[in-house]
Amino acid sequence: MRFNPRLSDGPQARCSTGKLKDAIMPYLRTMTRWESYLVSAAKVINAYKGDLPLHHFLKKFFKQHPQMGSRDRRWISQLVYHYFRLGWWKRDMEVSERLLLGTFLCEQKSNDLLAQLQPAWNEQIDASLAEKLQLSNAGELTAEQLFPFTDELSEGIDANAFALSYLNQPHFFLRIRNNRQDKILAILKQANIAYELSENRTTLALPNGTKIEELIPDKSWYEVQDASSQQTGLLFKPSRGQRWWDCCAASGGKSILLKDQEPNVQLLVSDVRRSILENLQQRFAAAGVKNYEARVADLTNPAFPGTMGNVKFDGIILDAPCSGSGTWGRTPESLAFFKKEEIQRYQDLQKRIADNVIHFVKPGGVLIYITCSVFKKENEEVAAFIEANSNLRREEGGVIPGYESGADTMYAVRFRRVG
């Protein structure tokens, strides 16, 4: 490699402020486009502190650098995400070296950047992970090195397979609605876009970056929804005329899934944030979902149950606030800034919400407890808490191992009230 842009080296470290511009300009003029991408990506990583989602930070960065074109933005973003996909492994490695290593390990097709800066790696881009590690002299890569919280994982999660899945960006999934399969597939074929369709012909995997809104502007045809999130709907099993409550509704994806299964359920949606409910209502309108009630509700407030009266529900969906650790393949920067003690904080929050909700399930009714977490404290331990503090008994469900299919990993359990 001809160039190694270190954050602590170069003219910046050797010049006084007054002489910086004169010293750095000849240096910059010798860079290739690919080398400048490494410098820009390193600048992003050095400035990013994890206080907002990385994609929002990148938008702000590119707004401050309007001279960068779409190809520049795409390459720099990709480099930064590759850096974070290495998790906690080799965090002391020089930033530029880790950027290149991440690109080599995460990419499966040859690319111009490696062809220019690491041609030997580019020639072996389709090699196995073990072969890449040997070729790059990177040493061993274990689950614990990449994901240091393996001792917290839920039962049944393959720690090695889950951790290594971070090296691959999850797929972009749609849930096809209103029997629009043939029309959607015809549009994708005409646009020459590759896809994978599930056996039940409702879950569609597309390449990341697919501009689906431009291809299919009618939102009633589909919902953007991860495959594992779609799978939680198998636990709903609603009947006509039943009363259901999506108590942590957020953007309403589970509610739309419920309504698609049985349009004639009586639905209450609630969330602690009014702005989120306003977004939900816009999404419902686009999806054609009608006949529901929405209310702002703080389910952590001990006084909340008194605001509900004597209402009981045939079904409650508790898609609980959580660490989101099962979705970090989409936001790998989250792993870099996560602290282990946060797991307990989320469990405490989930228990408070569950304790305020579970008593509104009518006899014979069901509670669907869902998280997008991989941690047993948020999953099995909260499920045990629900059983210990109510007449709800677990019927089915558990971990949904999305890491096996390029999807999120989730936890979903169906309980029924027996008395």
Helix/strand/coil for 417 = strand
Question: DSSP assignment, residue 395?
Answer: E
Nearest-5° Cα angle at 182, 179 to 187: 120
| Low pLDDT (below 50) residues in the chain | 1-21, 23-29
The pTM of this model reads 0.90
Measure the CA–CA gap between 185 and 164, rounded to whole angstroms.
32
Task: Give the pLDDT of residue 419.
Answer: 77
319 is in an annotated binding site: yes
- Cα Rg of the chain, angstroms: 24
pLDDT digits (tens, 9 = 90+) for 260-311: 999 999 999 999 999 999 999 999 999 999 999 999 999 999 999 999 999 9
- Nearest CA-CA partner of 356 in 391, 417, 392, 305: 305
Per DSSP, the residues of 281-302 read: HHHHHHHT--SEEEEE--TT-T
Question: DSSP assignment, residue 368?
Answer: E
Per DSSP, the residues of 1-42 read: ------SS-SHHHHS-GGGHHHHHHHHHHT--HHHHHHHHHH
- Nearest CA-CA partner of 77 in 94, 53, 93: 53
Residue 372 annotated to the active site:
yes
Answer yes or no: are the C-beta atoms of 215 and 188 closer than 8 Å: yes
Measure the CA–CA gap between 209 and 194, rounded to whole angstroms.
12
Helix/strand/coil for 125 = coil
Domains of the chain are 11-141 (no CATH), 172-224 (3.30.70), 227-417 (3.40.50.150)
Q: Spot the catalytic one: 247, 248, 322, 372.
A: 372
314 is in an annotated binding site: no
pLDDT digits (tens, 9 = 90+) for 358-380: 999 999 999 999 999 999 999 99
